[in-house]
């Protein structure tokens, strides 16, 4: 969704980055079905994918979720969007452990490469996270951003203060 507020734009840009990463990940998962377990030698596409995924998860599950939960959701709840806020918070809670497990397999793969067992686990958590995040982003790109835009369209000071508190 096109955002006109600074805060909405920051959130949307993060979502765009995450969607691009998920698309890239899905492409690699499809390739793996055809070509089997990827090798993670230096400068291989699989190595850069795993490293980029790990970095994206640091950002998404850390500052991005935290910003939404600490800065944005309470303001929206005050304005009556309790159900939406509860739903998105529950989804964050469900995704954090899946993302952390996936990151453990990213770290293991980057140090030791994949074997059948670790790649199977990586696939399992990657598919689980892709499914959950895609669903989550669909709601945030519509209902959440619309609520943020409505809240901040006529409140530029609050918009600036919120956006300033969002690192990155
Ligand atoms: Fe979120
Ligand atoms: Fe988000």
Nearest alpha carbon to residue 62 among 24, 100, 23: 100
pLDDT-derived band at 168 (thresholds 50, 70, 90) equals low
Q: How far apart are CA 14 and CA 3, in angstroms?
A: 12
Q: How far is the CA of 82 from the centre of ligand 1 (A)?
A: 15
Q: Is residue 26 part of a domain?
A: yes
Residue 86: count other Cβ atoms within 10 Å of its Cβ: 12
| Prediction pTM value | 0.94
Distances (CA, A) of 44 to 91, 106, 109, 115: 33, 15, 13, 16
Ligand at minimal distance from the CA of 95 is 1
Q: How far apart are CA 132 and CA 93, in angstroms?
A: 11
User: Cα Rg for the chain, rounded, in angstroms?
Assistant: 18
Please state the domain count of the chain.
Answer: 1
What values do phi and psi take at 105, rounded to 5?
-75, -30
Q: How far is the CA of 137 from the centre of ligand 2 (A)?
A: 6
Q: Is residue 95 part of a domain?
A: yes
Q: Is residue 1 part of a domain?
A: no
The domain that contains 96 carries what CATH number?
A: 1.20.120.520
Span 131-144, average pLDDT: 97
Q: How far is the CA of 89 from the centre of ligand 1 (A)?
A: 7
Protein residues with C-beta less than 5 angstroms from the ion ligand 1: 68
Question: What is the chain's mean pLDDT, rounded?
Answer: 95
The parent domain of residue 23 ranges over 6-164
Ligand at minimal distance from the CA of 136 is 1
Q: How many residues does the chain have?
A: 168
pLDDT-derived band at 73 (thresholds 50, 70, 90) equals very high
């Amino acid at each position: 969704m096109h955002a006109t507020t600074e805060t909405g734009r920051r959130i949307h840009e993060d979502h765009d980055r995450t969607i691009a990463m998920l698309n890239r990940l899905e492409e690699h998962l499809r390739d793996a079905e055809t070509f089997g377990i990827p090798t993670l030698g230096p400068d291989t596409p699989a190595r850069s994918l795993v490293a980029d995924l790990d970095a994206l998860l640091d950002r998404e599950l850390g500052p991005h979720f935290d910003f939404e939960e600490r800065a944005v959701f309470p303001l929206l709840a005050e304005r009556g969007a309790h159900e939406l806020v509860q739903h998105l918070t529950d989804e964050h809670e469900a995704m954090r452990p899946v993302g952390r497990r996936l990151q453990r397999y990213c770290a293991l793969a980057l140090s030791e490469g994949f074997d059948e067992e670790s790649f199977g686990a990586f696939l399992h958590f990657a598919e689980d996270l892709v499914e959950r995040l895609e669903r989550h982003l669909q709601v945030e790109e519509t209902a959440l951003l619309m609520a943020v835009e409505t809240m901040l369209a006529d409140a530029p000071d609050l918009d600036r203060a919120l956006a300033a508190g969002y690192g990155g």
